[in-house]
Structure 1
Amino acid sequence: MPLYPLFADLRDRHVLVLGGGDVASRRVAMLLKAGARITVGARLLTPELREWAKQGRITWQAGSYEAEWLERAWLVIAATRSRPLNTRIAADAHARQRLVNVVNDRSLSSFQVPALIDRSPLLVAITSAGAAPMLARRLRERIEGLLDPTRGSLLQFALRYRARLRARRRDPAADRRFYAWRRDVPAHVSSLISPSAQAKKQLAVALTDRREKQASGSVILVGAGPGDPGLLTLHALRALNEADVILHDALISEPILDLARHDAERIAVGKRGGAMHTPQASIHALMLQHARQGKRVVRLKGGDPFVFGRGGEELEFLREHGIHYEVVPGITAALACAAYSGVPLTHRDHAQSVRLVTAHCQLSLDTLDWSDLARERQTLAIYMGVSQLDELARQLLAHGRSADTPFALIESGSLPQQRTLTGALQALPVLAARHDIRAPALIILGEVAAQASVSHWYGELLGEPQGKFTLPRPLADAA
């Protein structure tokens, strides 16, 4: 049977909660926020309920349930541990035309208590009509991440000035444009959403400004991480759900794109050797074109925008052209690939530093200080180096790096098809060719890389244990 959605104003209205346990306590806590006048009927109360009764926040009707308790109630919640008693309460409530909820028993209930997202005065309620409460709670968790806590603060300000806004804005279309322009206030001027008097004054001026604002676009550089959608940040997910246009790299996985707003325009601007290639100048032009059209543009980049992602160049371009921008960092490949392969990038006994290096072409290799990179007791995380493995190994060995230095070569890190190849530096090119390792792949080189052989936990492990890495000492010994 379908349910009719309803948000009830319970301020100063009598609500009867039957039962004095933990479930009743949780229901009472929600009702107190709604300003209800609550009577709890039970022989015993939890310490929390007892304290609220002592403070006068609720009324305790001690003893066994009597039908007369229902007479003043607008709403009834049955949270006892006895189904026969709950059945009796429900029957008495129905006979008196009271709305009743029997916790975890939809057949006896005339209303359901939904899973709630509270950004007061914004409330989002989710119900499965009692069929699958766990599903409703999971959906609440997903949606909650999309609603920044500052949304509630913004709405409270808007509510305070709503009458003045309506008086100044006779045209409903202009009113809609005003609020559409303000929809991004939490993201763009979150510094204004604070308890300070100055911040409140500034936001009040913005909300009551007579002048219509020309819709202005913006660009958000978003790091999508290495590919696993579970590694997206909440800010990244929110940006995807607010985007009008998404300019995405070739390595962005479909599951991540599936999380974006369904009607957003998606434009592939990938850069892959030997395949699709979008010049950086074209990416700049696309960002500028759509932002000047008043659109919210997400520049979606694999990993982190500022780690070999040319995010700095794109920010310079946007700044030069007066386009508002933000940056949402992502989990870079070195961190993700190491974690998904069980490799600690630093270790107090083996590596006190980490070097992030790119090796996608001969030109980039020629700029590296190989003597410095060949030092021991440091970890090298080498991006885009699959096509240069022979030269990488040759240079490191020639500059003094030990031939038996362990490596972990991680292909498609964090994705279901992840493969981790382990071995010694001297065999790196041969082993990679034997197992047909292909981009995208990241190389971790150093004593810590041997840990992949014993701590690897995700995807397929290839190769044999190598190197001199020893497991950390037990805590008792370390002390």
Structure 2
Amino acid sequence: MDYFPLFMDIKNKSCLVVGGGEIAFRKANALLRAGACVSIAAPEFSDEVLELKHQEKCELIRECFNPSHLLNKVLVIAATNDRSVNKQVYQSAKDASIPVNVVDNPDLCTFIFPAIVERGPMTIAVCSNGNAPVLGRLLRAKIESIIPFQYGKLAELAQKYRAKVKSVFSNTNQRRDFWESVFEGKIAHTIFEGKFERAEALLQQKLAARSFAQETRGEVYLVGAGPGDPELLTFKALRLMQQADVVIYDRLVTPEILDLTRRDAQKIYVGKKSKFHCVPQSDINKLLLEYAEKGHRVLRLKGGDPFIFGRGGEEAEELVKRNIPFQVVPGITSAAGASTYCGIPLTHRDYAHSVTFVTGHLKNDTCDLNWKALAQPGQTLVIYMGLSGLKTIARELTSHGLPGETPVALIQNATRTNQKIAIGNLETIERVSRQKNIISPALIVVGEVINLHETLSQENRSQPLAEAHGNLALERTA
């Protein structure tokens, strides 16, 4: 460990920043946010530095650096582009035993700044010992993505009741157990939902009952895992995935996403596909009820979005009947993910003014849809679970008014590393599907917006999958 990690209280303490440009502004602003009294010394100041003079604790000194500027200072930062000046600041501060940092010059520093993540009174620091600051910032971004902002509110609540908890529980172990039950239980979840007053009331009740045990009542999380790419998960989905004791997941959840759940969680596969049900929906409902009533935190992990052809509504109804608390976390539905990754906007002023989502596989195993409403010009039609009925879909859309040359895209394994797209029209798409060996899971997209695929997926947009995972298996047939 080259540097000893230390957090320093600089509230109302005098600090010096040498320099008058953008970097000096950022450093001075950070010190001011920490409550310091900041003097900024430089012969000239940028406009943004000049704005700081209006802050009560900020003083501008329009002079070149002089060692006299160090009088009564507890911390010094040099942020000039003149190495000789930076070196003078470093040596003068070091001689005076004042901590000094010269920006981007580790050899002229007695301390360095970490990349920080702030959540209210909670501060997380990432340090690369000054050797890889960009990597430190990247790691900070990853930490930002998995720690909800509401943790700051949770820390504020703990700060507010710390003395009260100490007076109620004289035993250290009891206090520890109490706070663990707060941070991992219903109170924390209530804060994450934005219900701060309710969370405080629950904590007061818990204190009054002198309880430091975890709640025994379980909860169910109906979470949308998105179409396949783990980077499309929401922050909330990831947090609940890492809290759940039991994970009940379906066939469309990729192994990469399943790996993000808790390692020690019990995992139950209930995958379903057309004409084959590994576990009937009624049994899935029973599993959710059974584990939640035993006090477990149950994650129902679904491909796409729980409420878009995901039967999340049916599961939620059963939970309501049994008075079991639950949360629903939206996921990026396959249509949005597939169209974006393939360069097919679902709406476009020149091609489509509306988009319709429909399932091609109904509860009675038919494909009997409102074809007249679906066969409308100027709209994009997205059909889920319709590959087995592709011949019927193409025939009915043309017989109800859509031209045979209307473009059709089949998108297999949307957003995944093995994503494949085959393009034809209503007259050719069944043949194209056979030629390209398109299999489920696959979406059917119908509409003129498909004409934008080649342009938007190649020349004019980034390719996240190609950059992150290698080349896509893209196939196109006229």
- TM-score, scaled relative to structure 2: 0.87
Moved more, 255-264 or 400-409: 255-264
Alpha-carbon distance, 1:140 to partner: 1.4
Match of 2:111 in 1: 111
Please give the alpha-carbon distance, in whole angstroms, between the structure 2 residues aligned to 1:282 and 1:166: 46
Residue 464 of structure 1: how far off its partner (Å): 4.0
Which position in structure 2 is the counterpart of 1:10? Answer: 10
Structure 1 runs not aligned, ≥5 long? 466-479
Query: In the alignment, residue 433 of structure 1 is paired with which amino acid?
Result: R
Query: How many angstroms apart in 2 are the aligned matches of 1:276 and 1:90?
Result: 70
66-75 or 182-191, which deviates more: 182-191
Report the secondary structure of 1:118's partner residue.
strand
Shift of 1:263: 4.1
Give the CA deviation at 1:433. 0.3
* Residue 318 (structure 1) aligns with: 319
* 2: CA distance, partners of 1:49 / 1:410: 53
Between 1:395-404 and 1:137-146, the stretch displaced more is: 395-404
Give the structure 2 partner of residue 287 of structure 1: 288
The change in CA–CA distance for 1:46 and 1:208 in structure 2 (over 3 A counts) is farther
- d(CA) in 2 for partners of 1:406 and 1:462? 15
Equivalent position of 1:178 in the other structure:
178
Q: Equivalent residue for 1:299?
A: 300
Does structure 2 retain, via aligned residues, the 8 Å contact 1:192–1:203?
A: no
Partner of 2:29: 29
AA aligned to 2:45 is: L
Aligned equivalents of 2:334 and 2:388: distance in 1? 17
The amino acid that maps onto 1:210 is A
Deviation at 1:318, TM superposition (A): 1.7
CA distance in structure 2 between the aligned counterparts of 1:193 and 1:8, rounded to whole angstroms? 33
- How many Å separate the matches in 2 of 1:110 and 1:430? 70
Return the offset for 1:362: 9.2
1:210 aligned onto 2:223: no
Over 3 Å counting, the alpha-carbon distance change for 1:294 and 1:78 in structure 2 is: farther
**What is the letter of the counterpart of residue 462 of structure 1?**
E
Q: Decide whether the 8 Å contact of 1:153 with 1:193 is kept in 2.
A: no
3-state secondary structure, aligned to 1:242: coil
* Cα drift, residue 160 of structure 1: 1.7
Matches within 5 A, 1:189-204: 189=191, 193=195, 202=201
Name stretches of at least 5 consecutive residues in structure 2 with no aligned partner. Answer: 464-471
- One-letter amino acid of the structure 2 residue matched with residue 326 of structure 1: Q
Contact residue 19 and residue 79 of structure 1 kept, 8 A: yes
- Counterparts of 1:30 and 1:16 in 2: how far apart (Å)? 12
Alpha-carbon distance in 2 for matches of 1:14, 1:377? 66
Change (3 A) 1:7 1:147: same
Give the letter for the 1:245 counterpart.
Answer: V
Distance 1:177 1:400 in 2: 67
Alignment deviations for residues 433-474 of structure 1 (CA, whole Å, 9 cap, x no partner) = 011111111001133333334433464443445xxxxxxxxx
The question of whether the paired residues in 2 share the 8 Å contact of 1:192 and 1:199 is answered with no
The one-letter amino acid of 2:475's match is: L
Structure 2 partner of 1:85 = 85
The residue number in structure 2 matching 1:253 is: 254
Secondary structure of the 1:365 match is coil
1:89-148 Cα offsets, whole Å, 9 max, x none, are 223323333222111111221211111111121111111111111111112122113232
Q: Structure 2 CA distance, aligned partners of 1:340 and 1:10?
A: 48
Report the counterpart of residue 475 of structure 1 in structure 2.
none
1:412: which partner in 2? 413
CA contact (8 A) 2:168 2:210 kept: no
Shift of 1:27: 1.2
Matches within 5 A, 1:224-235: 224-235=225-236
Aligned pair in 2 of structure 1 residues 175, 453: CA closer, same or farther (>3 Å)? same
Contact 1:343 1:452 in 2 (8 A): yes
Aligned to 2:450: 449
Which residue does the alignment assign to 1:266? Answer: 267
Contact 1:358 1:364 in 2 (8 A): no
Rounded to whole Å, the distance in 2 between the matches of 1:352 and 1:373 is: 14
Cα deviation, 1:288-316, whole Å, max 9, x if unaligned, reads 34333433322111110011111011111
More off after superposition, 120-129 vs 288-297: 288-297
Is the 2:222–2:327 Cα contact (8 Å) retained in structure 1?
Answer: yes
Query: How far apart are residue 7 of structure 1 and its match?
Result: 1.0
Matched, 1:308 2:309: yes
Which residue identity does 1:450 align to in structure 2? N
Kept in 2, the 8 Å contact 1:353–1:378? The answer is yes
Distance 2:2 2:244 in 1: 33
CA spacing shift, 1:406–1:244, aligned 2, 3 Å: same
- 1:462 paired residue number: 475
Q: Equivalent residue for 2:220?
A: 219
Closer, same or farther: CA 75–264 of 1 in aligned 2, 3 Å: farther
Counterpart secondary structure, 2:117: strand
Are the structure 2 counterparts of residues 265 and 79 from structure 1 closer, same or farther at C-alpha, using a change threshold of 3 Å? farther
2:466 counterpart residue number: none
Are the equivalent residues in 2 in contact too, given 1:158–1:207 (CA < 8 A)? Answer: no
Deviation larger for 35-44 or 330-339: 35-44
Under a length normalisation based on structure 1, what TM-score does the superposition of the two structures give?
Answer: 0.87
User: Does the Cα contact within 8 Å between 1:3 and 1:129 map onto a contact in 2?
Assistant: yes
Deviation at 1:60, TM superposition (A): 3.3
Distance 2:230 2:322 in 1: 32
Does residue 188 of structure 1 match 2:151?
Answer: no
The equivalent residue for 1:472 is none
Question: Considering only aligned residues, what root-mean-square deviation do their CA atoms show, in Å?
Answer: 2.7
Percent identity between the two aligned chains: 39
Equivalenced residue count is 462
CA distance in 2, matches of 1:70, 1:7: 21
2:138 corresponding residue in structure 1: 138
The one-letter code sitting in structure 2 at the alignment partner of 1:66 is N
Q: Is the 8 A contact 2:20 2:46 kept in 1?
A: yes
Q: In the alignment, which residue of structure 1 is the partner of 2:468?
A: none
Query: Where does residue 378 of structure 1 map in the other structure?
Result: 379
Residue 469 of structure 2 aligns with which residue?
A: none
Distance 1:150 1:362 in 2: 41
CA drift at 1:65? 2.1
- 360-369 or 101-110, which moves further after superposition? 360-369
What is the distance in 2 between the residues matched to 1:420 and 1:435? 9
Measured in 2, the distance between the counterparts of 1:155 and 1:206 equals 18
Cα 1:305–1:94, aligned 2, differ >3 Å: closer, same or farther? Answer: same
- Report the CA distance between 1:23 and its aligned residue: 1.2
1:269–1:278 CA contact under 8 A, matched in 2:
yes
Query: SS in structure 2 opposite 1:346?
Result: coil
CA deviation map 1:304-358 (0-9, x unaligned): 0011111011111222222211111011111221222222323445444332222
1:126 partner amino acid:
V
Alpha carbons 1:18, 1:77 under 8 Å: kept:
yes
3-state SS of 2:220 partner: strand
